[in-house]
Amino acid sequence: MTLFPALLEAYRREGLFAKAVDAGLVDLQISDIRDFARDKHRTADDIPFGGGAGMVMKPDPIVGAAENLGDEFADAEKIILSPRGRLFDQIEAERMSKMQSLVVICGRYKGIDGRIPEIIGAREVSIGDYVLGAGEIAALAVIDAVVRLIPGYLGDLDSAETDSHSGRDRLLSPPEFTRPREFLGHRVPEILLTGNHAAIEEWKRRQSLRITLERRPELLENVDLTDEEIAYIQALRSDGI
């Protein structure tokens, strides 16, 4: 549900999503909230009660759009993209990927009338601690994170399971390399060329631990580490990482 459907139409026509639609794996139905405005100017926003800068999305067009969704969405989970919402993460993406349907409402301006979540049974979701001018961008981030986890979408589900924030430990992923072996004087790590899969997996695991320690150390708090890995992390910390 959006005030700017063209932003979502482009996504529906391109890349893996378009192929998944053709294969019947997923569908994206786009509802223009302005179609349910009650005046000839299709007004969907108004000034806020209590004063203040900005405009607020009106409740009546949103409720009208929600009521028009049809029976298949009657019991669907409904989310509103808002910077004050609960943080969306990979665990949420995995949960949503198992749903039959999901209703995503794109916020705009100063946000959506505060009565809407209770009226239509929606909850607010945020993709990060920053503010966007277009809720459609946040909606696409959620949609893309969710649909790529649907079996058959990527072709190789292992590709998703080895991503950052995925798998058993949800560590950041190690760096990846491809041909050529040497580029502008920089070589691919020799371990990746040995064909020794056990050694390669150990190298990747250590790279994940190192990168996670450097960039998102809080993610290590819930990881079941071996004694050897604990010693490795302690050594990294001793080196100032």
Please identify, in words, the CATH class of the domain defined by 163-238. mainly alpha
| pLDDT score, position 70 | 85
* Cα–Cα distance, 120 to 63 (Å, whole number): 7
| pLDDT score, position 160 | 73
The answer to whether residue 164 scores a pLDDT higher than 90 is no
| pLDDT score, position 60 | 97
- Tell me the CATH number for domain 6-147: 3.40.1280.10
One-letter amino acid at 109 equals: Y
Q: What is the pLDDT of residues 76-112, one digit of tens each?
A: 999 999 999 999 999 999 999 999 999 999 999 999 9
Residues 6+ apart with CB under 8 A from 1: 31, 33, 62, 65, 66, 103, 104, 105, 106
| pLDDT score, position 155 | 78
Residue 108: Cβ within 10 Å count: 21
Residue 23: Cβ within 10 Å count: 10
The answer to whether residue 166 scores a pLDDT higher than 90 is no
The answer to whether residue 50 scores a pLDDT higher than 70 is yes
* Cα–Cα distance, 114 to 119 (Å, whole number): 10
State the DSSP H helix or E strand holding residue 55, giving kind and residue range, or none if neither: none
Average pLDDT over residues 136-147: 97
Q: What is the pLDDT of residues 190-212, one digit of tens each?
A: 999 999 999 999 999 999 999 99
Domain boundaries, the chain: 6-147, 163-238
* Cα–Cα distance, 203 to 88 (Å, whole number): 30
| pLDDT score, position 157 | 58
| pLDDT score, position 74 | 83
* Cα–Cα distance, 185 to 183 (Å, whole number): 5
The answer to whether residue 73 scores a pLDDT higher than 90 is no
